[in-house]
Amino acid sequence: MTGQTVIEIVEDSLAGSEIASLLEEHLREMLRITPPGSAHAMNLNALRSPAITVWSAWRGNALMGCGALKALNACGGEIKAMHTAHSHRDQGVAKAMLTHIIAEAEQRHYSHLYIETGALPAFFPARNLYARNGFDFCPPFDTYREDPNSVFMCKVLHG
């Protein structure tokens, strides 16, 4: 592996302008492609909750993507804010971030890791990524309700 292919994932304080811009891009995209009332992407202030840890993915000085883990309770967490910058798509960023978040959830001794994602075709790559990594479809969790525009998935953890 060359130095150029390494993706470094670090906990993010959400203080930098780069992460703010990336999360704004993510929120705009989710609001653009998801029907009104069905977008569950969080803005920067919501992601600053003490129940949420955010990580950013970097290659050198380039911010490639981000992801977050929200503590739902002592036994489970939810993946939030998974996003890869358009210029870094198809470079393994989402897989690296997902692997990192799963490892963190296992380290926290969660028994379950959940995600809500879109049901529209634009979300197929995300659903496929989660399915390839052991997530199965499940009913709505936490405060979510049935929504034809949402897909709910869960991974049983053994950490």
**Domains along the sequence of the chain with CATH:** 3-156 (3.40.630.30)
pLDDT value at position 158? 82
Q: Which residues contact 93 (CB under 8 A, 6 or more apart)?
A: 7, 57, 64, 65, 84, 85
Look-up of token digits 């991974």: 155
Reported as a single tens digit per residue, the pLDDT across 4-59 is 569 999 999 999 999 999 999 999 999 999 998 899 999 999 999 999 999 999 99
The residues near 72 (Cβ < 8 Å, ≥ 6 apart) are: 78, 114, 141, 142
At 80-109, the pLDDT tens digits run 999 999 999 999 999 999 999 999 999 999
Alpha carbon of 55 to those of 12, 70, 101: distances in Å?
Answer: 5, 12, 9
How much is the pLDDT for 159?
A: 57
